[in-house]
């Protein structure tokens, strides 16, 4: 574990990566994102280091406090097949944010980093984009490993979410010693994360879409998506990838059926299905913003396992590549809902 190892949380969003690393003992000394509404969620949940709201291009790299590990789930639009397919050539500069990370690595030379992005980063532009990323990181002196992990296979979270993780160390031996977490059985079902009670506004009953979906949304054990013209049923018990698009309104939020009818997942359920703990507080802001934040975030339990392995390697300990997940689920008999309890609490 990474007790006391200092991290900077870049493209921090609402802090999903931070929770995972702090559970593995790391200490966050700086956090940045340029989205003000993320700050509302972030600062409500973390004491100690608060979110600095600033465009990363405007940050003075010298002013970032001393740190050991750089963390960044940098924006994926430009790299995503679902996005613009423009990679480094995105004229809004989105793809180029990787090069800002490279500048920070070059100037500050932290011992290690972990970057996260969509799976398609690897195949974008026939693999050229990823090659540039790898070569840039290697030129900066880092020894890297990368792997696609799925939340349902590596984080015991019933969400089909594949993301690529790139981990680098300055010391070659550390990179060699590091391994990504192995697969772990999925013991939970999306129903462990959904509530019997949800406000009426989340139900489609009586709304125009109801007629179009009522025949297809017919099982309480499946999560559905509305794909403009038809309903798509997902793998039994598993939620589809939660995306930032959920915040765009419409019917982008996954749909479930229960005894009361057909409804979309609530923002709270989306956070839980990203492995956020129940005690994570959601500010009183528009649902659209919360859906966006949840979809943009990471699956905390996957991050936690990577962080534990990085921590062990950085501390020179033998890595436990089958590290356990630090949360448990119990049924609350008073209302029939399951509750997800973290084994340890948020640290500063
Ligand atoms: C994919 S999200 C990462 C979310 C984060 N990992 C979490 O757990 O919530 C990317 C984040 O990068 C931020 N971002 C995009 N461009 C930025 C820039 N130029 N400067 C600072 N932050 C930026 C966005 O606001 C967004 O929150």
What's the rounded Cα separation, in Å, for the pair 147 and 141? Answer: 20
Domain carrying residue 232: 190-285
Residue 27 lies in a domain: yes
Give yes or no: residues 213 and 130 share one domain: no
56 lines ligand 1 (CB under 6 A): yes
Mean predicted lDDT score pLDDT of the chain: 88
165 lines ligand 1 (CB under 6 A): no
What's the rounded Cα separation, in Å, for the pair 267 and 161? Answer: 17
Q: What is the mean pLDDT of residues 49-73?
A: 96
Q: Write down the pLDDT at residue 84.
A: 41
For residue 76, indicate whether it is catalytic: yes
Q: From atom 27 of ligand 1, which residue's Cα is the shortest distance away? A: 13
Torsion of CA 239, 46, 315, 320, to 10 degrees: -20
Q: In whole angstroms, how large is the CA radius of gyration of the chain?
A: 20
Q: From atom 7 of ligand 1, which residue's Cα is the shortest distance away? A: 297
Catalytic option among 38, 76, 239, 270: 76
Is 18 strand, coil or helix? Answer: helix
Atom of ligand 1 minimally distant from the CA of 100 = 19
Residue 93 lies in a domain: yes
310 lines ligand 1 (CB under 6 A): no
Give yes or no: residues 304 and 157 share one domain: yes
Note whether 37 and 293 are within 8 A (CB). yes
What's the rounded Cα separation, in Å, for the pair 63 and 101? Answer: 15
Q: From atom 22 of ligand 1, which residue's Cα is the shortest distance away? A: 33
Residue 338 lies in a domain: no
Q: Write down the pLDDT at residue 129.
A: 85
Number of structural domains (the chain) is 2
Give yes or no: residues 55 and 139 share one domain: yes
Please name every residue paired with 232 in a beta bridge, in sequence order, or none if there are none.
Answer: 225
33 lines ligand 1 (CB under 6 A): yes
Atom of ligand 1 minimally distant from the CA of 93 = 19
Give yes or no: residues 43 and 156 share one domain: yes
Q: Name the DSSP letter for residue 239.
A: B
299 lines ligand 1 (CB under 6 A): no
Give yes or no: residues 272 and 311 share one domain: no
Give yes or no: residues 204 and 171 share one domain: no
Helix residue ranges per DSSP H, 51-155:
97-108, 128-139, 151-154
75 lines ligand 1 (CB under 6 A): yes
Note whether 300 and 312 are within 8 A (CB). no
Torsion of CA 224, 227, 229, 234, to 10 degrees: -30
Q: Of the given ranges (125-129, 290-294, 326-330), which has the lowest mean pLDDT?
A: 326-330
Give yes or no: residues 274 and 157 share one domain: no
pLDDT at 193 over 90: yes
Residue 28 lies in a domain: yes
For β-strands 255-258 and 261-264, DSSP reports them as antiparallel
Residue 32 lies in a domain: yes
Neighbouring residues of 189: CB distance < 8 A, sequence distance ≥ 6: 158, 221, 237
pLDDT at 32 over 70: yes
Q: How far is CA 97 from CA 10, 79, 91, 103, 274, in A?
A: 11, 11, 12, 10, 24
CA of 33 to the centre of ligand 1 (A): 5
Residue 342 lies in a domain: no
């Amino acid at each position: 574990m990474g007790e006391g190892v200092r991290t900077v949380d870049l493209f921090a969003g609402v802090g999903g990566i931070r929770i995972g690393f702090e559970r593995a003992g790391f200490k966050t000394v700086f956090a940045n994102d340029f989205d003000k509404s993320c700050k509302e969620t972030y600062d409500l949940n973390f004491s100690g280091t608060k979110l600095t709201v600033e465009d990363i291009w405007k940050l003075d790299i010298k002013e970032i406090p001393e740190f050991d590990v750089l963390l960044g789930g940098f924006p994926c639009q430009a790299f995503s097949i679902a996005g613009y397919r423009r990679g480094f050539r995105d004229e809004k500069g989105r793809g180029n944010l990787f090069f800002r990370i490279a500048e920070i690595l070059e100037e500050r030379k932290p011992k290690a980093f972990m970057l996260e992005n969509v799976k398609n980063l690897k195949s974008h532009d026939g693999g050229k984009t990823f090659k540039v990323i790898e070569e840039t990181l290697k030129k900066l002196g880092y020894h890297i490993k990368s792997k696609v992990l799925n939340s349902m296979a590596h984080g015991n979270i019933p969400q089909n979410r594949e993301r690529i993780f790139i981990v680098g160390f300055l010391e070659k031996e550390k990179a060699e010693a590091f391994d990504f977490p192995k697969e772990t059985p999925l013991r939970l079902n999306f129903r462990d994360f959904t509530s019997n009670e949800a406000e009426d506004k989340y139900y489609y009953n009586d709304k125009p879409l109801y007629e179009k979906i009522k025949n297809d949304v017919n099982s309480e054990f499946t999560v559905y998506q509305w794909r403009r013209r038809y309903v798509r049923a997902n793998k039994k018990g598993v939620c589809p990838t939660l995306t930032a698009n959920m915040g765009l309104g419409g019917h982008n939020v996954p749909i479930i059926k229960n005894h009361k009818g057909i409804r979309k997942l609530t923002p709270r359920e989306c956070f839980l299905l990203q492995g956020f703990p129940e005690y994570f507080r959601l500010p009183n802001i528009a649902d659209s913003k919360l859906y966006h934040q949840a979809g943009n975030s990471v699956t905390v339990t996957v991050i936690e396992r990577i962080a534990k392995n990085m921590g062990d390697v950085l501390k020179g300990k033998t890595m436990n590549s089958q590290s356990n997940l630090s949360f448990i689920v119990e049924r609350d008999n008073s209302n029939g809902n399951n509750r997800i309890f973290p084994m340890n609490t948020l640290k500063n």
